[in-house]
Chains A and B, each alone.
Chain A
């Protein structure tokens, strides 16, 4: 294929490698897009628009790959495109195996692109894929052979009479460079000195492996033109390069001599330079056809020029606006062609003008994450300055400083809006996470012999990019778990009166300052007794008095697995405990709900961003600490008789018949005391990692959004502290790591 072979990254002094990165990104996007479309494709009732969109993805990758010289990518996409083209033209109907092969092809392309991008990896073997795709494409030929090949096949028949000398049509270069030995007629001329033509023939003979050349009888209609019969496998462009040592490029032309040629390549006769890689319409506006009448009066030189152009890979429609004059001779054949073409054109246009999925490209820009983070950081500083100003101005008399106070109020509002707007830059829709699941689930279900359908909801829900990256693995685990342990085998489902195909739902939604991502399945659900006995087997303390939700929570206990046997899907060492730990470390929580026989729901609640947090500030002595609001359950005034000492130093507090450990922040952080008669009388109950503790503090200062600063990178790791923030008055307050404090209470 001429279209798929390029070799150079350096041409015209332009280094094509500078465009590689853009191409890789674009191809990656196209592959993602294609995969999603393929996953969504309804084989029974494939939507034309979708098929077109899939085709366009492959087409676009092919174009770039061929241009930038990635011939392996171009070859595979070219084959895919051929298949997809037949699909979108309804010459073939999509089948599940086709979709499978197209998906695997997508995987191979990703691997190839990664290799070209320098990520390493084995060379990708596409032999089987290419074979399969070819088989699909050919399969159509066998089945629908009786049906005419629509316009393409019909045209040559109609066009042939108009084109008076079919076998004189210039040979297609699309065929030439790759086909083997072929016989062509070489015309040299018109020449003033006919000996030059003989020199050419001599030159041809001198070079080994070029082929054979024989002189053909002169054609009376072609004055001063010498004809040769050439048998060669060398590309015409190379021959031209060779001959132009002796004659002008315009004086050399090739014509097909093989009777089989028109049949094999029906497109060729329709226009001069057809399939040659270019062409001009001689009657179109803008055509460089100024000398058209003169040119058509002398038919012989004209095809020569056309042929020369054809060999160079582009072309003009002779009578077209702007087309160069020389190709004018083709006009008669060409105008006949227009008449033939009309129905086809109309059809084509109708298809093309359908509304198509708009690209977002025009309205988006790519910015590095660092730049955004820097912006977020600066806005964070601004927020702190604003809070400081607000605090300092509080004592001012609003009557005297009316304008200043109004200004500060505006500043407050604008800062908040600005902060929100800047934070939203980092927000990306959950669809970027969800999009990976259909494929994964499909492969997994196939492997397990189950039938599962994935439903996604709230894909537009936005989440901080940093969180998106970190939540992907835990979610993957939950989805795998649902498919592996939750959804039953099809036969079991039918036996239970459930639909054969199980459903796993991924749903994201905003709830307050959090995002809630749910993984639901309609599988077998959790069995309380089984979980309890399993837990006891594993030596986990599990009394019968546990509430259902506590029992469900057992699956997050380290080393716990509900599967009767370890499969290579879920039981891979990484348990649900790691999932829970990862989510907790993001400041999130996990909840499980289940009804045996009806399924299970795992809800992951996460803060919207890691950079800003809703916090509750509490005072201990002179210090201020921040508790993540998401972990705060309640707070209450404590009276001395509620607190009991157990086992020497441990203290517990009784809240509604429930005892929980007390943590005295004063002792944990060794807060210096100056007022010896103080009385810490407030308990804040916080929850993390399935446990609750009550923290003893002096006072509750309020709730606010705080900008989280990493303590580790600015100072060093401090136990029980997850970060720090700067308060309105400029003081630093530590953000407590509730999970670590809960763990501390267990020792």
Chain B
């Protein structure tokens, strides 16, 4: 079973994402912000990281950068969930090493659709 690390500081979004992923048969580990995700990512591997961008303590871009420095996460797909679809955000995401982005709000179907493109 594929494992996904889902990071969002909003409990409702996190629950929604986790529920959607679990319903689609993925194993989900939740984290409340980048720092929490970074701690939870230690010592284990995930098939995908789904992270919100704007979070307290550590945001999604910083998390992506940190994860990419870790050999364990060198090739792991990292998707940033964001409400800002600005060019600037995308450049930051790309520079940080993110795999892609998904604009909020999104339909649960869409989330699964996107995830299936990167996890096979």
Contacts and interface: CB of A to CB of B under 8 A. Distances in A.
B90 A317 contact: yes
B48 to A, nearest CB: 7
Interface residues on B, range: 35 or more
A199 B101 CA distance: 35
Contact of A314 (B54, B57, B100): B100
Interface of A: 2-3, 6, 8, 11-14, 16, 18-20, 22-23, 25-26, 53, 56, 59-60, 62-64, 66-68, 74, 151-152, 155, 174, 266-267, 270-271, 274-281, 284-288, 312-317, 320-324, 334, 337-338, 340-342, 344-345, 348-349, 352-353, 355-359, 361-362
A19 B108 contact: no
Contact of B48 (A68, A322, A359): A322
A178 B92 CA distance: 27
Given A270-B87, A285-B75, A344-B88, A361 B11 contact: yes
A12 B107 contact: yes
B40 to A, nearest CB: 11
A342 B99 contact: no
Nearest to B10: A60
Contacts of A361: 9, 11, 32
Nearest to B32: A362
The 7 closest A-B pairs by CB, nearest first: A322-B77, A341-B91, A316-B100, A286-B77, A23-B12, A280-B100, A12-B108
Contact of A320 (B32, B85, B94): B94
Contacts of A337: 91, 94
Given A67-B106, A285-B68, A152 B94 contact: no
B41 interface: no
Contact of A321 (B75, B83, B88): B75
Interface string B61-92: 11001001000001111100001011110111
30 contacts: A3-B85, A12-B23, A12-B112, A19-B16, A20-B12, A23-B12, A63-B13, A66-B83, A152-B88, A155-B87, A174-B103, A271-B90, A274-B90, A275-B85, A279-B100, A281-B94, A281-B98, A287-B118, A313-B110, A314-B100, A316-B99, A316-B118, A320-B97, A320-B98, A321-B74, A321-B77, A338-B94, A341-B94, A352-B58, A358-B57
Contacts of A288: 77, 117-118, 120
B20 interface: yes
Contacts of B120: 288
B93 to A, nearest CB: 7
A267 B110 CA distance: 23
B91 A323 contact: no
B33 to A, nearest CB: 7
Given A349-B92, A362-B32, A267 B87 contact: yes
B118 A286 contact: yes
Given A155-B87, A267-B86, A338 B118 contact: no
Given A63-B13, A281-B99, A323-B99, A348 B83 contact: no
A345 B91 contact: yes
A315 B118 CA distance: 11
Contact of B99 (A6, A14, A64, A321): A321
B91 A67 contact: no
Contacts of B74: 285, 321
Interface string B21-40: 00100000000110010000
Nearest to A324: B117
Contacts of A280: 99-100
Nearest to B35: A358
Contacts of A348: 61, 88, 92
A611 to B, nearest CB: 30
Contacts of A151: 88
Nearest to B60: A352
B12 A22 contact: yes
Nearest to A74: B105
A14 B32 contact: no
Contacts of B52: 63
Given A278-B103, A341-B91, A63 B117 contact: no
Contacts of B113: 312, 314
Contact of A26 (B11, B20, B108, B118): B11
B92 A345 contact: yes
Nearest to B34: A352
Contacts of A357: 56
B105 A66 contact: yes
Given A314-B100, A321-B78, A349-B62, A11 B13 contact: no
Nearest to A174: B85
Given A12-B107, A349-B61, A349-B65, A320 B100 contact: yes
Contact of B93 (A22, A277, A317, A362): A317
Nearest to A277: B103
Contacts of B104: 3, 63, 66-67
B30 to A, nearest CB: 10
A20 B12 CA distance: 8
A287 B99 contact: yes
A358 B99 contact: no
Contacts of A341: 88, 91-92, 94-95
A155 B91 CA distance: 11
Contact of A324 (B57, B107, B118): B118
A19 B15 contact: yes
A632 B109 CA distance: 68
B86 A152 contact: yes
A22 B11 contact: yes
A13 B22 CA distance: 13
B10 A64 contact: yes
Contact of A358 (B48, B56, B83, B91): B56
Contact of B78 (A62, A64, A322): A322
Given A322-B76, A361-B11, 14 more contacts: A12-B112, A19-B12, A19-B16, A174-B85, A277-B102, A285-B99, A286-B78, A287-B77, A316-B100, A316-B117, A317-B100, A322-B48, A322-B100, A341-B95
Contacts of A3: 83, 85, 103-105
Nearest to A327: B100
A64 B112 CA distance: 18
A322 to B, nearest CB: 3
Nearest to A61: B10
B88 A12 contact: no
Given A67-B16, A314-B114, A361-B32, A274 B94 contact: no
A676 to B, nearest CB: 70
A342 B95 contact: yes
Contacts of B83: 3, 59, 62-63, 66
B102 A313 contact: yes
Nearest to B118: A322
Nearest to B33: A359
B98 to A, nearest CB: 6
B118 A14 contact: no
Contacts of B96: 345
B86 A64 contact: no
B85 A277 contact: yes
Contacts of B59: 352
A152 B87 contact: yes
Nearest to A65: B105
A67 B117 contact: no
Given A12-B108, A278-B102, A317 B56 contact: no
